[in-house]
């Protein structure tokens, strides 16, 4: 199953980068929101265009909601060309964000799982339209570095491990759309072969069981361990038996 695909030539609308950049200038003095998971990234900020409740004023505005209940934020009416782009996606909308990654910033390696999954096999995808980028951005998915060009429309399978580094001198800015696969989007993607259909079916069955659940259980166990270990008699005894030594 493809993990990266350039959908630009299959999409009915072509994206005018200059118009997008012009409207970006109107957002320079707006309150760009830091990502709600501070451990995941530094220097990664957002303007929400569609959020779970229509809000755009805090980190919680970026949280996942329920399909069918997402609402456009106040920014959409301020940005007529971005509104045209949103209208061109004739499919259910989830979170849609303008996302900026500052120079010398990193999005740490992770997978998008459960309700945040963005994998064609699971019927929901995350599409990127780069607006401003540079050749020093590293976009690593499953060990492969993909260069996403400005004004193009890309699908990337983010259920695989991925991370991003901006080693350039200017912010990297993308329009990022979480959307549900329906008849409209199926026509935008290449037709699946019988083997790919089988691969999608297997992925839906096996990925949660063998990748998502074990990691979630591991994190729960470690969280429980540290809550009970810190300040415990076992910790005190360990420090007495194995005191830390000054290396100097």
Residue 246 covered by a domain: no
Task: Specify which residues 145 forms β-bridges with.
Answer: 140
Residue-wise pLDDT tens digits, 112-132: 877 888 889 889 999 999 999
Q: How many CB atoms lie within 10 A of CB 171?
A: 20
Whether residue 215 has pLDDT greater than 70 = no
Whether residue 179 has pLDDT greater than 60 = yes
Q: What's the domain count of the chain?
A: 2
Strand stretches in the chain, DSSP E: 4-6, 33-34, 44-51, 71-72, 93-101, 105-110, 124-132, 137-141, 144-145, 154-156, 162-166, 172-180
Residues 203 and 163 in one domain: no
Q: What does the pLDDT read at residue 168?
A: 95
Distance CA(155)–CA(192), nearest Å, equals 15
What would the mean pLDDT of 74-79 be, rounded to a whole number? 96
Pick the more confident residue, 94 or 248.
94
Residues 92 and 176 in one domain: yes
**Residue whose pair of structure tokens reads 């038996």 in the numeric block:** 241
Residues 215 and 102 in one domain: no
Residue 118 covered by a domain: yes
Whether residue 235 has pLDDT greater than 60 = yes
Q: What does the pLDDT read at residue 196?
A: 84
Q: What does the pLDDT read at residue 104?
A: 93
Residue 124 covered by a domain: yes
Q: What does the pLDDT read at residue 234?
A: 81
pTM: 0.84
Domain hosting residue 182, numbered range: 4-188
Residues 16 and 100 in one domain: yes
Calculate the average pLDDT of the chain.
89
Residue 147 covered by a domain: yes
What would the mean pLDDT of 205-211 be, rounded to a whole number? 71
Residues 79 and 172 in one domain: yes
C-alpha dihedral (158, 160, 163, 164), degrees to nearest 10: -40
- Look at residues 167, 188, 209 and tell me which one is the last residue of a structural domain: 188
Task: Specify which residues 99 forms β-bridges with.
Answer: 46, 174
Q: Which CATH number fits the domain that encloses residue 72?
A: 2.60.120.330
Distance CA(77)–CA(81), nearest Å, equals 10
Q: What does the pLDDT read at residue 218?
A: 59
Residues 172 and 198 in one domain: no
């Amino acid at each position: 199953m493809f993990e990266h695909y350039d959908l630009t030539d299959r999409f009915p609308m072509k994206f005018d980068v200059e118009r997008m950049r012009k409207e970006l200038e109107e957002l320079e003095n707006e309150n760009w929101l830091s990502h709600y998971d501070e451990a995941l990234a530094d220097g990664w900020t957002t303007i929400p265009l569609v959020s779970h409740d229509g809000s755009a004023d805090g980190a919680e505005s970026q949280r996942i909601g329920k399909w069918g209940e997402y609402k456009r934020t106040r920014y959409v009416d301020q940005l007529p060309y971005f509104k045209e782009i949103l209208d061109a996606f004739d499919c259910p909308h989830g979170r849609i964000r303008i996302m900026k990654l500052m120079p010398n910033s990193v999005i740490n390696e992770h997978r998008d799982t459960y309700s945040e999954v963005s994998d064609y096999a699971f019927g929901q995808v995350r599409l990127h339209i780069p607006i401003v980028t540079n050749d020093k951005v590293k976009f690593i998915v499953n060990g492969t570095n993909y260069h996403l060009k400005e004004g193009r429309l890309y699908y990337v399978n983010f259920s695989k491990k991925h991370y991003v580094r901006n080693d350039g001198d200017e912010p990297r800015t993308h329009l990022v759309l979480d959307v549900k696969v329906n008849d409209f989007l199926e026509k935008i993607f290449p037709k699946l072969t019988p083997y790919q259909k089988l691969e999608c079916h297997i992925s839906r069955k096996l990925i949660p069981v063998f990748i998502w659940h074990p990691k979630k259980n591991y994190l729960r166990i470690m969280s429980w361990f540290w809550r009970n270990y810190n300040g415990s008699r076992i910790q005190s005894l360990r420090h007495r038996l194995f005191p830390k030594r000054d290396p100097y």
